[in-house]
């Protein structure tokens, strides 16, 4: 087995950066030293208006952490991870060491192969039903990372969609929201972050689905209007606590769910507006079961979505 030298670990970091992040903010940095990679939160890329607590920032970094674990795993090394190893350095999210050589499992191979194929899909999905055993595999992916995934039944699905639409409207009136959205959606030929026009998708002709309006500040000259699926499949990812360690856990679970879905030929859209307005999030939080919703995900079958850009690896290595 070839040892994982710093060059190979830099390749792993490049793969980790393919993870999803809020508005493609890529709020992560990495330091490689010998056989170890340190993963840092980059608060300079936090969305202060939308995400003042940094919850979604840590979910994003958690997603990159899971991807890094896979990138190391598929190269035949067991990644030994310590999360938040140093209380005096809170931005140090994790330290990963390529511990010992192993033969990657079939599952690691399948999830690693899904990394470059996973893209947030904002196109209409077909009306095909997602089979129960597929949902079970997604729930298994969440629970393997210490989170839960629940499918919304017809009543709670409609409630979630209604709350997410209300939240989208409420967010639009939050001071600084438009300016912040504008910064992360401004098109530019050399831009390597943010949500590009090619990823925004069409209008929902019936305005039923609470798709985030990434074209609000920089509208596209021609944005088609299409019919989205009338009964979307909505799943909710939740954790048993609601602090930084839970958000990192949620991010790892999110990416494991999204990659499992990609492997199973599903399209996915994270939908987070309802969780960005505290009063709305409280309505989605069960009082008795101590589960905190961390992400709402729309799943289904659709035409493939386009990839979004990433910053060069040199920019994210410390
Ligand atoms: C914490 C978090 C919240 C997100 N919220 C939304 C959302 O509300 N609506 C949406 O369309 N995409 C959402 N996304 C998807 C990101 O916009 C997407 O990951 C990013 O633009 C990179 O594109 P990619 O996923 O295709 O690689 C979210 C992603 C993360 C990690």
Task: Give the pLDDT band (50/70/90) at residue 221.
Answer: confident
Mean pLDDT of 146-158: 94
Q: Identify the three-state secondary structure at position 136.
A: helix
Task: Select the more confidently predicted residue: 220 or 26.
Answer: 26
pLDDT in tens, 180-217: 999 999 998 899 999 999 999 998 888 889 889 898 89
Lowest mean pLDDT among 131-140, 166-175, 241-250: 166-175
Angle at 213 between CA 231 and CA 43, to 5 degrees: 115
- What lies within 8 Å, CB to CB, of 164 at 6+ separation is 210, 271, 273, 274, 280, 296
What pLDDT, on the 0 to 100 scale, is given for residue 99?
A: 83
Task: Give the whole-angstrom CA distance, residue 61 versus residue 71.
Answer: 15
Instruction: Confirm or reject: Cβ of 268 under 6 Å from ligand 1.
Output: no
What pLDDT, on the 0 to 100 scale, is given for residue 121?
A: 98
270 Cα–ligand 1 center, Å: 6
Instruction: Confirm or reject: Cβ of 270 under 6 Å from ligand 1.
Output: yes
Whether residue 219 has pLDDT greater than 90 = no
Task: Give the pLDDT band (50/70/90) at residue 272.
Answer: very high
150 Cα–ligand 1 center, Å: 20
Q: Which atom of ligand 1 is nearest to the CA of 273?
A: 8
pLDDT in tens, 5-16: 999 999 999 999
What pLDDT, on the 0 to 100 scale, is given for residue 290?
A: 81
Task: Give the pLDDT band (50/70/90) at residue 265.
Answer: very high
Instruction: Confirm or reject: Cβ of 22 under 6 Å from ligand 1.
Output: yes
Whether residue 298 has pLDDT greater than 70 = yes
Atom 11 of ligand 1 has which residue's CA nearest to it? 212
Angle at 57 between CA 56 and CA 60, to 5 degrees: 85
Whether residue 229 has pLDDT greater than 90 = yes
CB 248 within 8 A of CB 93: yes
Backbone angles phi, psi at 248, to 5 degrees: -65, -40
Q: Which atom of ligand 1 is nearest to the CA of 121?
A: 26
Whether residue 275 has pLDDT greater than 90 = yes
Mean pLDDT of 35-45: 97
pLDDT in tens, 69-85: 999 999 999 999 999 99
What pLDDT, on the 0 to 100 scale, is given for residue 208?
A: 87
17 Cα–ligand 1 center, Å: 13
Mean pLDDT, the chain, rounded, equals: 95
What pLDDT, on the 0 to 100 scale, is given for residue 210?
A: 87
- The full set of domains in the chain, from first to last, is 6-118+309-316 (3.40.109.10), 132-300 (3.40.109.10)
Mean pLDDT of 236-244: 96
What pLDDT, on the 0 to 100 scale, is given for residue 285?
A: 86
Task: Give the whole-angstrom CA distance, residue 31 versus residue 14.
Answer: 12
CB 238 within 8 A of CB 245: no
Instruction: Confirm or reject: Cβ of 273 under 6 Å from ligand 1.
Output: yes
What pLDDT, on the 0 to 100 scale, is given for residue 268?
A: 98
What pLDDT, on the 0 to 100 scale, is given for residue 278?
A: 94
What pLDDT, on the 0 to 100 scale, is given for residue 254?
A: 98
Can you name the residues that pair with 270 across neighbouring β-strands? 297
Report the half-sphere exposure of 7 (CA within 13 A, side-chain side): 2
Mean pLDDT of 233-259: 97
Mean pLDDT of 263-270: 98
Q: Which atom of ligand 1 is nearest to the CA of 251?
A: 31
Task: Give the whole-angstrom CA distance, residue 210 versus residue 119.
Answer: 18
51, 62, 120, best to mutate for ligand 1 pocket (most atoms within 8 Å of CB): 120
What pLDDT, on the 0 to 100 scale, is given for residue 200?
A: 92
């Amino acid at each position: 087995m070839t040892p994982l030298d710093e060059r190979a670990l830099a390749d792993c970091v490049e793969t980790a950066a393919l993870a999803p992040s809020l508005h493609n903010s890529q709020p992560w940095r990495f330091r490689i030293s010998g056989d170890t990679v340190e993963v840092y939160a980059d608060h300079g890329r936090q969305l202060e208006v939308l995400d003042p607590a940094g919850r979604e920032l840590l979910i994003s970094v958690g997603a990159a952490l899971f991807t890094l674990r896979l990138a190391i795993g598929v190269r035949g090394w067991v990644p030994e991870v310590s999360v938040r190893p140093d209380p005096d350095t809170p931005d140090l999210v994790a330290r990963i060491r390529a511990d010992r050589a192993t033969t990657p499992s079939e599952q690691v191979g399948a999830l690693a192969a899904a990394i470059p194929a996973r893209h947030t899909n904002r196109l209409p999905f077909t009306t095909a039903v997602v089979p129960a055993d597929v949902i079970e595999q997604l729930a298994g992916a969440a629970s393997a990372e210490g989170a839960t995934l629940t499918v919304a039944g017809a009543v709670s699905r409609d409630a979630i969609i209604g709350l997410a639409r209300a939240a989208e409207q409420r967010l639009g009136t939050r001071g600084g929201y438009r300016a912040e959205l504008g910064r992360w959606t401004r098109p530019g030929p050399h831009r390597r972050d943010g949500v590009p026009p090619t990823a925004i998708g069409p209008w929902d002709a019936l305005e039923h689905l609470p798709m985030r309006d990434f074209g609000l500040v920089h509208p596209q000259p021609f944005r088609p209007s299409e019919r989205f699926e009338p009964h979307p499949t909505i799943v909710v990812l939740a954790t048993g606590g609601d602090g930084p360690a839970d958000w990192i856990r949620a991010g790892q679970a999110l990416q494991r769910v999204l990659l499992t879905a990609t492997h199973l030929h599903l399209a996915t859209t994270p939908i987070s507006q309802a969780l960005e307005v505290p009063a709305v999030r409280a309505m989605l939080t069960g009082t008795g079961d101590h589960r905190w919703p961390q992400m709402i995900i729309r799943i289904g079958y659709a035409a493939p979505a386009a990839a979004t850009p990433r910053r060069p690896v040199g920019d994210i290595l410390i």
